[in-house]
Structure 1
Amino acid sequence: MPGEIVLGVGASHSTLMNTHWDQTRAKEEATRFRDGLREARDLIAAARPDTAIIVGSNHFRGMWLDLVPAFTIGVGECVASGESGTPKGPQPVDVPLARHLAEQLVDGGFDPAFSARLQIDHGQSHAVQYLLDGLDVDLVPLVVNVFAPPLPTTARCLDLGAALRAAVRSFPDDRRVAVIGSGGLSHRLPWPDWRAPEGDDEEFMVEAWLNGRGDWSRYDTRRREIIRAAPSVITPEFDAEFLHLLETGRTTRVGWLSTADLEREAGNGAQEVRTWLVMAAALGHAPGRTLAYAPVPDWLTGMAVAVIDPAAPEETRA
């Protein structure tokens, strides 16, 4: 039988779970989010996927300003950078499916970049660490540019998810596929627009983003100091509305928001919701279910976990 998408998961990520758990003051909220990740992991295990398409961002540890495609598919080797206690080293890639997806997207009018030796960071490896823990699942990594403007539009990300859905279904071999969107929700990072940095910290960040290829760890200590010193700006109202749209199968409405709209309403880090939009569209915008939501100021982020199970009775999804 052909390829089949059996589950969708959206999940926030934060390496501070690994490095600063003991210092996290909102421990009840953080625990609620961590428990949501575990529940999602169990649901993935129950769905028995062969492969997980992990749609995530890249925090300039695997891609740099020397080349920033809107969308990049890993079609060969995949290596995780291993920052902050996340998985490090080679990851198992479903090469036949990855190459099929790349070809079908091109045939369908998209122009994704592809990499036969892709380096990912916690934008995808956080999901590997927590959502695929102990599971024998291959990957197809798909990186969405959410940090180096100009960004792909939210509408284009919805179109990409729909194209992925069709491409998986056209795969000629039996393949059970989970789609994971990793990132968001609301948060503000102390990251500049690379085109107009202001002050020493922002100029340092842009230098790291431009020159980090092969040497990203040299910049990492100061990068994390800058991030740790940033004030927390979380917008629970935006997060609640976004999750409600996911639960009711209306995530297409987010496609009306521009990059400027998202930043104004939920911070520059909320640009990562594009990964959730790709996932939701790949699941045909079926109604979903929120497993956990917690604003965690020490992690700077509105942390959420949600699932879309196309096989679940509709009345049990939301």
Structure 2
Amino acid sequence: MWARSRRSSTPIYCASISRSAACRKTSSSPGCTRSRQRKERRMADLVGAFAASHGPIIARDWDTMATDHRERLAAGFDELGRRLKACRPNLLVVISPDHWVNFFISNLPAVCIGIGEEHDGPPEPFMRKVFARERLKGHAAFGRHLLQTALDGDFEPALSHRLKLDHGTCIPLWRMAVDAELPIVPLLINDLEEPMPSIRRCLAWGRLLRQAIESYREPLRIAVLGTGGLSHSIGEPTMGWIDEEFDHACIRHFADGEDARLAAFLTEALPRTGNGAHEIRDWVVAHAAAGSKGFELIDYFPSPQTLVGAGFAAWRVAA
């Protein structure tokens, strides 16, 4: 069983803090030279990368679930919220599926980027009870930059000037106590219906997201949050199954940092586990954006009350 981090002594990893300290010690290193050049050009930086589960029952049954279960979920979200706040982001890119709110099988993009100045809050009644925000701030300029970077790199995402952001995005925002004034750029990945983006393509999307961040000509501090997973099975004969073996293997591969092994494992294992596990693609995008290294498990435990393998993670991000 994977042990939880000792939160009281866990360091907070933020790119600007660790990089500036390193540069003071070794100011002639190539990494520090690149850092100074980026500051002189006033470009954006990735300052944090995070991932969290978003099972809808977390919101629906929050006040009625067993106290010890709720407290453990709360501790994972609280730690992510603490670390996100410490990184002082100006913008948050949220990588999540769309749960048939904006799209259906008649019109289902593999990837959609939200490029609007604002987006609509969650439509689900159980979400409105706990997260009553009707509007969420967007960031049209960075959304458009991400879109153009993708198109220039031979990616073909869909775009939306206004999205409805469901529980997949909003449960982590709610439980992490993300500031309502922090702009959100949604990156919606089809994790629900075959055919889905390959794991290799999700890794490529993560690298492209990092490229877009570092080429954006405004000194924004940008964080990314992948949501969903880990294993769960919804609306199929194995409903409620939590595949702990799969979850622990995912965690090992993220910690290992070898993209080829991660892609090979997920490509082979995903068809054999619960359908909800496909949301691991959102973690994969965040992982690749962080350079596929520095993974830190904050907590994992099987959560039968919410029907998911509940996972919380962060990546140590180097500028």
> Does 2:307 match 1:300?
yes
Q: Pairwise CA RMSD of aligned residues?
A: 2.0
| Matching residue within 111, 114, 123 for 1:71 | 111
Q: Residue in 2 aligned with 1:241?
A: 249
Q: Residue in 1 aligned with 2:97?
A: 57
Aligned counterparts, 1:92-103, within 5 A: 92-103=137-148
Q: Residue in 1 aligned with 2:232?
A: 187
Which secondary structure state, in structure 2, belongs to the residue aligned with residue 305 of structure 1? strand
Q: Percent identity?
A: 32
Which secondary structure state, in structure 2, belongs to the residue aligned with residue 298 of structure 1? coil
Aligned counterparts, 1:205-244, within 5 A: 231-244=239-252
> Does 2:47 match 1:2?
no
Classify 1:257/1:304 alpha carbon distance in 2 versus 1 (closer, same or farther; 3 Å): same
Deviation at 1:51, TM superposition (A): 0.5
TM-score, reference length from structure 1: 0.80
Classify 1:82/1:38 alpha carbon distance in 2 versus 1 (closer, same or farther; 3 Å): farther
| Matching residue within 242, 261, 265 for 1:253 | 261
The Cα offsets for residues 74-126 of structure 1, whole Å up to 9 and x where unpaired, read as 00131122421253422101111110000011001100100012122111111
Classify 1:303/1:183 alpha carbon distance in 2 versus 1 (closer, same or farther; 3 Å): same
Q: Residue 137 of structure 2 contacts residue 181 of structure 2 at CA under 8 Å; is this kept in 1?
A: no
Partner letter of residue 115 of structure 2? V
**Which segments of 5 or more consecutive residues in structure 1 lack a partner in the other structure?**
193-229, 313-318
Aligned residues: 273
> Does 2:288 match 1:285?
no
Which secondary structure state, in structure 2, belongs to the residue aligned with residue 232 of structure 1? coil
Q: Residue in 1 aligned with 2:11?
A: none
| Matching residue within 58, 61, 64 for 1:17 | 58
Q: Residue in 2 aligned with 1:271?
A: 278
Which secondary structure state, in structure 2, belongs to the residue aligned with residue 117 of structure 1? coil
Flag as ranges the 4+ runs of structure 1 deviating above 4 A: 257-260
Q: Residue in 1 aligned with 2:84?
A: 44
Which secondary structure state, in structure 1, belongs to the residue aligned with residue 312 of structure 2? strand
Partner letter of residue 3 of structure 1? A
Classify 1:303/1:257 alpha carbon distance in 2 versus 1 (closer, same or farther; 3 Å): same
| Matching residue within 145, 155, 170 for 1:110 | 155
Distance 1:95 1:48 in 2: 20
Deviation at 1:174, TM superposition (A): 0.7
Deviation at 1:130, TM superposition (A): 2.0
The Cα offsets for residues 273-302 of structure 1, whole Å up to 9 and x where unpaired, read as 000000000111122111111211121110
Distance 2:190 2:100 in 1: 10
